[in-house]
Structures are given as structure tokens and as C-alpha cells.
């Protein structure tokens, strides 16, 4: 299906969203973010889809929020528009989301990647938060995600300087998962997605909830949530199938129920 600013299609059990404003390095205007999130929600509620992948093109994942669109914003117009409410809906997506990145992932583009669960990047990809050079700062979670993932000092250095960093730097600092040759980004992301597609969907979903809670909850509350989710897996047919398959020395076939 082709929307205005994204292209979406399905490959096996993977729902793909391709950012599609190549003339402006996939700069994210508000309509585009709206389309991306709506498509994530469509995939999230489609039983045939197990994993969601977001990708750009060879030159850019996304070069940030659309600066032309932001130029005339005022504090009040932003307050009334509430442009980040739609970003918050990404936090409700239950299925695994993979960002496949080549080229620039800057500002809001990097933040879109950080909203995904796993990030695969090409060796030549460039990540950064150039907002400081525009006299603003990250607004879609950049300071929060980065600080949690790479620590305060490294995050400050990156966001204060606003200079792009390499995929290997982010790999070393625990922000991204895999770095491969640029031409292999899609293949590597699909390999990961296909592996995840074979895992028990309810386990993946409850693991995501528990891992995300680790950033917000006390250890005691996090352990409680993990335990409840562990118990909940025993309500699924996939728990029976997984353990039965082990006993029968065969591969399990998970149905997501
Ligand atoms: C609007 C953009 C854009 C953006 C690129 N373009 N990024 N338009 N908003 N964020 C446009 C350029 O104006 C240009 O249009 C075309 O895309 C190609 O870009 P070039 O600059 O000619 O290409 P290149 O020299 O290869 O440089 C690529 C680039 C550079 C390094 C990505 O364009 C750049 O620095 N862009 C801005 C990056 C940025 O500051 N991002 C943060 C935005 S603030 P024309 O018409 O001239 O061909 C942000 C806040 C997030 O993200 C808040 C939450 C959402």
C-alpha cells in the first residue's frame, strides 16, 4: 500500500514500513509520523504479522524532523498541537520493532530508530542530534533514551556537540545491535526478523513489557512484573507446544495463542 510519505508491504510475517520522502532525506513531517504510527498499529493488531521493520533508503533513514515545517512553530502552537502525543503511541506497540538504517539518522530520525526495539545499521550510517545547532534540542525522547542506553557523560557529549557519530561507536556503547556492510542491512534485518517470527509471540510480547519496565520500576517491582508475566506464559498453548516439542526432540511451531 502506498501512502503519502511511507510505503508499506509485508514480507512473510514481517510488516515493513519504508520512509519515502527521498527528496528531503526522509525528513519527518507531522503527516509522515502520523502515517508511520498508524501503520505500526495496523501491523501490531494483524495476527499474520510477527515483527515490524522500519527502514529508509541508501542515503537516509531520516534526517530529522522537517525543519521547514517547524520553522514557524511557537510554544503555544506546539502546546495546542501536542506533536509528541502520536510518538507516545509507539510505546504501546507490543510486537518487536526493528530499525534498518543506512545513511543519516539524525534528530527525530534517530529518535524514531530509538523507539524501535532493535537497530541494525550499515557501516557508513551517521547518527546524531544536530538540534543544538538549530538553537533547539531533542524533543522526541533523544535525551532520555540516549542517557539510559549510553550513560550521562557520553549522552551529554553527543547531544551538546551535535556532531554525527558512526554506527561502530554506537555499537560499542550499547545503543545499536548490529553493524554490517551497507548493502547487507536489509538482509541482516530480515534475518533477525525471521528468527523472531519463529519465537513464541506471547513470550516476545511479555519479555518486551518486562524489559521496558526495568527502565522505570524499582528492582522489586520489576521482579514482580517479570514473575507475573512468567506465570502468564503458562496460560498459552505455545508454552505447552514449546515444552512438548522439547520432550519429543523436535522444533516447536508457535501459534501465538
Ligand atoms: C527539512 C531537510 C532536512 C530536514 C534535509 N533536508 N534534512 N529538509 N528538514 N531535517 C533537505 C535539504 O534542505 C535539501 O533540500 C535535501 O533535503 C537534501 O539535503 P542536502 O542538505 O542537500 O543533502 P546533504 O548535503 O547530503 O546533507 C544531508 C544532511 C543535511 C546532512 C542530512 O541535509 C542536514 O544537515 N539536514 C538537517 C539535519 C537536522 O538538523 N536534523 C535535525 C532536525 S530537528 P533542497 O530543497 O535544498 O534540495 C529535529 C527535532 C526533532 O529533528 C524533534 C522531534 C520530532
- The helix or strand, by DSSP H or E, that contains position 60, with its residue range, turns out to be strand 60-62
Same structural domain, 240 and 147: no
Same structural domain, 220 and 141: no
pLDDT one-digit tens code per residue, 152-206: 999 999 999 999 999 999 999 999 999 999 999 999 999 999 999 999 999 999 9
Same structural domain, 31 and 154: yes
Same structural domain, 72 and 99: yes
Q: Is the dihedral of CA 177, 180, 183, 188 positive or negative?
A: negative
**DSSP letter, residue 2:** B
Same structural domain, 26 and 82: yes
Q: Which residues contact residue 30 at a Cβ distance below 8 angstroms, ignoring those fewer than 6 apart? A: 66, 69, 81, 83, 86
In a domain, 256, yes or no: no
Q: What percent of the chain has pLDDT over 70?
A: 99
Which grid coordinates belong to 249? Answer: 526432540
Cα-to-centroid distance, 104 and ligand 1 (Å): 9
**From the alpha carbon of 126, which atom of ligand 1 is closest?**
31
Same structural domain, 162 and 134: yes
Residue nearest to atom 34 of ligand 1 (CA): 63
Distances (CA, A) of 201 to 7, 16, 74, 76, 147: 25, 18, 43, 42, 29
Pocket-testing residue among 64, 87, 109, ligand 1, by greatest number of atoms within 8 A of Cβ? 64
Q: What percent of the chain has pLDDT over 90?
A: 98
Whether 72 has a pLDDT exceeding 80, the answer reads yes
CA 22 to CA 4: how far, in whole Å?
Answer: 12
The pLDDT, as a whole number, for residue 3 is 65
Domain count, the chain: 2
Q: Annotated active-site positions, please?
A: 65, 108, 111, 131
Same structural domain, 206 and 194: no
Place of cell 529508509: 56
- pTM of the predicted model over 0.90: yes
Same structural domain, 39 and 152: yes
CATH number at residue 235: 1.10.12.10
In a domain, 257, yes or no: no
Radius of gyration from C-alpha coordinates of the chain: 19
CATH number at residue 126: 3.90.226.10
Residue nearest to atom 15 of ligand 1 (CA): 24
Pocket-testing residue among 21, 22, 24, ligand 1, by greatest number of atoms within 8 A of Cβ? 24
Place of cell 543506512: 102
pLDDT one-digit tens code per residue, 7-52: 999 999 999 999 999 999 999 999 999 999 999 999 999 999 999 9
**DSSP letter, residue 73:** -
Same structural domain, 207 and 153: no
Same structural domain, 188 and 109: yes
Show which of 164, 182, 198 is a domain's final residue: 198
Residue nearest to atom 7 of ligand 1 (CA): 63
The domain of 208 spans: 201-247
In a domain, 1, yes or no: no
Q: Which residues contact residue 149 at a Cβ distance below 8 angstroms, ignoring those fewer than 6 apart? A: 114, 173, 174, 175
In a domain, 254, yes or no: no
Same structural domain, 188 and 206: no
Distances (CA, A) of 19 to 50, 167, 186: 20, 20, 14
| Burial class (CB within 10 angstroms; exposed 0-12, middle 13-18, buried 19+) of 66 | buried
Same structural domain, 106 and 140: yes
Amino acid at each position: 500500500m502506498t501512502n503519502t510519505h511511507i510505503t508499506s508491504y509485508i514480507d512473510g510475517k514481517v510488516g515493513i514500513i519504508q520512509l519515502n520522502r527521498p527528496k528531503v532525506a526522509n525528513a519527518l513531517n507531522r503527516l509522515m509520523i502520523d502515517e508511520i504510527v498508524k501503520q505500526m498499529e495496523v501491523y501490531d493488531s494483524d495476527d499474520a504479522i510477527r515483527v515490524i521493520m522500519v527502514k529508509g533508503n541508501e542515503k537516509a533513514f531520516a534526517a530529522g524532523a522537517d525543519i521547514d515545517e517547524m520553522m514557524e512553530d511557537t510554544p503555544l502552537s506546539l502546546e495546542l498541537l501536542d506533536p509528541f502525543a502520536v510518538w507516545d503511541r509507539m510505546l504501546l506497540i507490543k510486537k518487536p520493532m526493528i530499525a534498518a538504517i543506512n545513511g543519516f539518522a539524525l534528530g527525530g530520525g534517530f529518535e524514531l530508530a530509538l523507539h524501535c526495539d532493535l537497530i541494525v545499521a550499515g557501516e557508513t550510517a551517521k547518527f546524531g542530534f544536530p538540534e543544538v545547532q538549530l538553537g533547539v534540542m531533542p524533543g522526541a525522547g533523544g535525551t532520555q533514551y540516549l542517557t539510559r542506553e549510553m550513560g550521562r557523560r557520553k549522552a551529554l557529549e553527543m547531544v551538546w556537540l551535535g556532531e554525527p557519530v558512526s554506527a561502530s561507536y554506537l555499537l560499542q556503547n550499547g545503543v545499536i545491535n548490529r553493524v554490517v556492510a551497507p548493502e547487507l542491512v536489509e538482509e541482516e534485518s530480515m534475518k533477525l526478523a525471521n528468527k523472531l517470527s519463529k519465537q513464541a509471540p506471547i513470550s516476545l510480547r511479555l519479555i518486551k513489557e518486562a524489559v521496558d519496565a526495568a527502565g522505570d520500576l524499582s528492582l522489586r517491582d520489576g521482579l514482580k512484573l517479570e514473575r507475573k508475566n512468567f506465570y502468564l506464559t503458562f496460560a498459552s498453548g505455545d508454552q505447552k507446544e514449546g515444552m512438548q516439542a522439547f520432550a519429543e526432540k523436535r522444533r516447536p511451531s508457535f501459534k501465538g495463542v
